[in-house]
Structure formats: C-alpha cells, structure tokens
Amino acid sequence: MSMGEAGGRTFKAKLQAAWDRGDSLLCIGLDPDPARMPLDDVAAFNIAIIEATSDLVCAYKPNVAFYEALGPERGYAALRRTLAAVPPHIITLADAKRGDVGHTARAYAAAIFDNLGFDAATVNPYLGGDSMEPWTERAEKGAFVVCRTSNPGAGDLQDLPVRQPDGTTRPLYEVVAARAASWDRRGNVGLVAGATYPDEMRRLRALCPGMPFLVPGIGAQEGDLAAAVRAGIDADGRGLLISASRGVIYASAGRDFATAARAEALRLRDAINRERDAFAARAGRPAKA
C-alpha cells in the first residue's frame, strides 16, 4: 500500500472523510523556497508546518517543481520525508501538472502515485482522453484537470471560443470541463479552478455540480476568498480544496514560522466556514455544529 492510501478506500471517499474530519476545505501548498525559509532543512520546515496545521486542513499540496529545483537527491528525499509526515487521513496532492501521450503518462502516474505515494495529482489535459486514462483508471487515486487557472494570462488560451456541433460557441475551459466530466467514470476526477476568476468558477460548478475543485489563487495572487467559496461550493456545502501556499507557510520569516502558519491557517479555515454557514442559511439548512 502506498503512502496516503487508507484501507483501499476510493479517492472520493477519502476526500469526503478529510473534508468532514477537520471541518475544513483548506489545502496548504508546501512550496519550499530556501531563500525565504528560516531553516536550511526543507523537510524539517515542512514537517513543522504539518504538525502545526494538520487539524485545520483537508489536504497538503506540494508543488513538485520546488523539490525538483533542489536537485534529484536532496529534493526527492525532502519530498518523501514530507509525505511520510502527513497524517494518513489527509489528502496528499502533487501539484505536478503532468501531461503527455499515453505510455509516457503511465510512467508519470507511476512516479507520482506508486513511487512517491501521492493520493492525487494535477494533470494537463491538452493531449486528450488517452493521456488522461493512466491518471483516472484507479478509483483510489484522484486527478485534478487543469481547467481555468488563476494566473493573469489564463485567458490567452482558456477563453478561446470553440465551435460546437450545433453551431454555438463556448470557451475552451468549458469544453475541457465537459470532457473532464466524461472522463470521470470512477468519481475521482476534479478541476483546477482559480479563485481569481469567480464568474468562470460559477459556470464550472453549473457544468460539473458534483466534481471537486482545487482552487488556487488565494493569498499571494489576491483571489477573493468569499467570492470563490460562493462561486464554487457544491450543494452539500463542500466540493472545494481551497489552496493557500505562500501566505501560510511564510506568514513569518522568523523562528515562529510554524506558529504563524497555524494562525493564518486557522483564520482561513474559519473564514471559509463562515461562508459555508452563510451558504447553508441561504439554502435553508442548519449551519454546521
């Protein structure tokens, strides 16, 4: 059994349990930058963050690029130690944005899921359905399809109009979402939907009502947290992994970094939950206990 797997449960079941156990939709990005860290040991830095915040999150999301930049030995050793420190009920999500032809995608998936032991990964769908199958074929592993990203240039390609069979057009990101829904045969596919574009996220939620969204763009990218929750929350008051990275892990540049990270994570978790309570009230349901 790989790290992060819990008794052979499906990814969907593990994610739902993680949402509920911590009463949290917060995902912390573990993106170590040695120039900003008060420790020289990347893994020790990450482990301190995890120990300070694990009761406040549903997921941790290491961006693989930051570990690869450290070199193959140092970087992957730190990543393995980091993943080993994550409690088994919390989702581990590789922000890798891999995408390639089928046989190469299968090797990428083996590296992320089997070798490193992640529960899920971000995946680039540009090469089509056959490139996605290695990421979606196992119900216990999740794939978050890059759909409407949070960066300023997202619309350069993602907003391009695509003509449909009936002669109408829709933006490319909506076409990607529809394709992702067709690939979701095992309930383990999600979308990457940036907090910086809440109107687009609202359309994605209408297209994919039951699909989990990984939501980057809160914090350093200045996405509106309340607007993102309102746009993306699902009918059950869940459906989101709201990712915060630099704003949490670098909340302090001093030796109190873990304490500061906890304070910021708690603030974000509670702010998200206030919006969830407001959503429940609008829907005529009781707020969470």
Q: How far apart are the C-alpha atoms of 265 and 150, rounded to whole Å?
A: 20
Confidence of residue 284 (pLDDT cuts 50, 70, 90): confident
Q: How high does pLDDT run on average in the chain?
A: 93
* Least confident window among 4-13, 107-116, 155-164, 187-196: 4-13
Full DSSP string of 4-63: T--TT--HHHHHHHHHHHTT--EEEEE---TTT-SSS-HHHHHHHHHHHHTTS-SEEEEB
Full DSSP string of 142-196: EEEEEEE-SSTTTHHHHT-EEE-TTS-EEEHHHHHHHHHHHH-TTS-EEEEE-TT
Q: Which is nearest to 25 in space by CA: 52, 51, 49, 61?
A: 61
What is residue 6's predicted lDDT score, i.e. its pLDDT?
42
Residue 146 has pLDDT above 50, yes or no: yes
Residue 86 has pLDDT above 90, yes or no: yes
pLDDT digits (tens, 9 = 90+) for 88-113: 999 999 999 999 999 999 999 999 99
Residue identified by tokens 């009230």 is 281
What is residue 286's predicted lDDT score, i.e. its pLDDT?
66
HSE at residue 17, side-chain half, CA atoms within 13 A, is: 14
Residue 4 has pLDDT above 60, yes or no: no
Q: Is-above-0.75 flag for pTM? A: yes
Q: Which is nearest to 217 in space by CA: 95, 64, 44?
A: 95
Six-digit token string for 144: 């978050």
pLDDT (mean) for 213-237: 86
Superfamily the domain 11-282 falls into: Aldolase class I (3.20.20.70)
Residue 54 has pLDDT above 60, yes or no: yes
Q: How far apart are the C-alpha atoms of 118 and 86, rounded to whole Å?
A: 11
Residue 97 is a catalytic residue: yes
Q: How far apart are the C-alpha atoms of 48 and 68, rounded to whole Å?
A: 21
In this prediction, what percent of the chain has a pLDDT beyond 70? 94
Q: How far apart are the C-alpha atoms of 84 and 88, rounded to whole Å?
A: 9
What is residue 72's predicted lDDT score, i.e. its pLDDT?
85
Q: How far apart are the C-alpha atoms of 285 and 233, rounded to whole Å?
A: 14
Six-digit token string for 81: 């130690």
pLDDT (mean) for 234-253: 96
Marked catalytic residue, from 14, 97, 141, 288: 97
